[in-house]
Amino acid sequence: MRTRSAALLPAAAGVALLLAACSSGGDDTSAEGTSDGVQLVSSGQLTLCTNPPYEPFEYEEGGQIVGFDPAIVGEVAKDLGVELTVKATPFEGIQSGADLNTGNCDIVASGVTITPEREAKIDFSEPYFDANQGLLVEEGSDLDSADALTGKTVAVQQATTGETWAQEQGLTTVQFEDLGLQIQALKTGQVDAVINDVAVLGPWAKDGLEMTATFSTGEQYGLGVKKGNTALLDQVNATLDRIHSDGTYDELYTQFIGTAPIEAATASPSADS
């Protein structure tokens, strides 16, 4: 799971930054308000949990959390006629469904790969982005394949499919909470390489670092809502349909990913990963 030049979100996304940890309200998951039949944690707000830094999908800029994921979810908020509120939370609570189950947020989006294990805990939207794993190393390194990593130390991000893939290859891994810590470990020589999603490693391929390999995994990202929240899930999928048909998806993809999506990935939301 889970860059390009930093870019501000369109005003329609209405992203608010809440970097401080927010109370989950214990086990109380009752909604405070509704919008067109969709129950929301806070009246008049669609609350998103995400885990920056994970550029270009979510990262901080100018006191806001911006990126491809908040922009996409901002379109959902727009269609609901509410504001988007963004919370930065640990990835474990996002991918496990805990943030949704405790009422910490209405929706999760953080480069979350759809897997059978996660589908047992979260209701996912149609896929919206295709993702493969990349290998980031020091410039000039001869590490350019999974075989070349034998006996080397590889930084992986906790609870991600990149971590799972690396372990399945029998690699020696060191777990980090976020991408920023992975990069720091590589720069300081604590690890020999970093494995994470290709899209987020791209921007780091500079200043002495380079991406030497990609590993096709067939991964796809989805937006997640609480199990059984059919009304919100239907709205999310309706928004994905709209932004694919009206060109908004292509615009946001180009803005944050840096290139236009390939034709096959934008034909319909189900073709997206």
Q: Give the tokens for residue 168.
A: 């399945």
CATH number of 133-217: 3.40.190.10
Res 23 pLDDT > 70 = no
pLDDT tens profile 176-229: 999 999 999 999 999 999 999 888 888 888 999 999 998 988 889 999 999 999
Per-residue pLDDT at 176: 97
Strands (E), the chain: 15-18, 33-35, 38-40, 45-50, 59-61, 64-66, 83-88, 107-108, 122-124, 129-138, 153-157, 172-176, 193-197, 209-221, 224-226
Right CATH for 11-128+222-271 from 3.40.50.10210, 3.40.50.300, 3.40.190.290, 3.40.190.10: 3.40.190.10
Beta bridge partners of 213: 135
- Of 91-100, 236-245, 247-256, least confident by mean pLDDT is 247-256
Tell me the C-alpha distance between 270 and 85, whole Å. 27
The alpha carbon of 171 is separated from its chain's Cα centroid by a whole number of angstroms, namely 24
Q: Is 6 helix (H, G, I), strand (E, B) or coil?
A: coil
Where residue 34 falls among pLDDT bands split at 50, 70, 90? low
> What are the start and end residues of each CATH 3.40.190.10 domain in the chain?
11-128+222-271, 133-217
Residue range 59-83: mean pLDDT, rounded: 97
pLDDT above 70 (res 135): yes
3-state class (DSSP) for residue 121: coil
